[in-house]
Amino acid sequence: MWPQELIDFRQLVGDRVLLRPYRKGDGLALYEAIHSSLDRITPWFLWANAEHSVEISESKVEMLADLFLNQQDLTLGIWDLDEKTILGGSGLHRFDWKLRLCEIGYWIRTGFEGKGYVIETVKLLEDFAFGVLGMNTVQIRLVPSNVRSQRVAERCGYRYDGTVRRITFMGNGELADLSIFSKTVDEWEAK
Ligand SMILES: CC(C)(COP(=O)(O)OP(=O)(O)OC[C@H]1O[C@@H](n2cnc3c(N)ncnc32)[C@H](O)[C@@H]1OP(=O)(O)O)[C@@H](O)C(=O)NCCC(=O)NCCS
């Protein structure tokens, strides 16, 4: 059972990004964001290698909205402040309510890289995870060859815990190792 703060979740707003769950009607915006970013996201995500169309993206946003309503996952679009353009995707995933542990994931749309939008997104999400949801630990998991993702984790103050062998897939379906970076609530409070 999710805490009430997560059931009531609507959006997080930063200086330049607005994070909110996808909803019915977002399919076109999501399709455009994914379609224009394929060359950069296909190496890393199985879902990016599936077929894409506006209709498929519309089904996907409805499926993600259901996962949120069914308290299974908080996938979020990264929008510009007037909610016209999807800048990328993020979210809090793999909640473990006994350990109070969850994971932040992210991707940014082609043309919006290198501007700090992901760093801003991670900070908004960790403030929510630690400050509102009372998490003990937040993880960022990445394959060791994903240098850009590692740079985001390190810039946001996440520490390297270790690498687990062959427990994830690359975008092309090959097995890959996964490095885990994490921040504890004590480290967040000391920021
Ligand atoms: C991984 C990924 C999300 C990183 O995106 P990114 O654009 O590098 O991250 P940010 O938006 O936070 O930008 C950070 C960079 O912007 C710079 N920057 C520019 N303006 C900034 C600002 N106002 N505030 C903060 N940083 C700023 C930072 O210095 C940093 O530069 P650096 O890359 O030289 O260190 C992106 O490469 C991506 O989408 N990759 C494909 C999908 C993927 O791999 N996802 C992760 C799976 S684990």
**pLDDT of 191:** 85
pLDDT tens digits, one per residue of 63-96: 999 999 999 999 999 999 999 999 999 999 999 9
> 180, 139 in Cβ contact below 8 A?
yes
9, two tokens: 């979740």
CA-nearest residue for atom 34, ligand 1, is 114
What residue ranges line ligand 1, CB within 6 angstroms?
Answer: 40-41, 44, 106-108, 113-119, 142, 146, 148-149, 151-152
- Atom number of ligand 1 nearest to Cα 146: 44
CA-nearest residue for atom 8, ligand 1, is 114
**pLDDT of 1:** 85
> 138, 182 in Cβ contact below 8 A?
yes
**pLDDT of 84:** 96
The residues of the chain scoring below 70 in pLDDT are none
Q: Does the pTM exceed 0.75? A: yes
**pLDDT of 79:** 98
Domains of the chain: 4-138 (3.40.630.30)
**pLDDT of 53:** 98
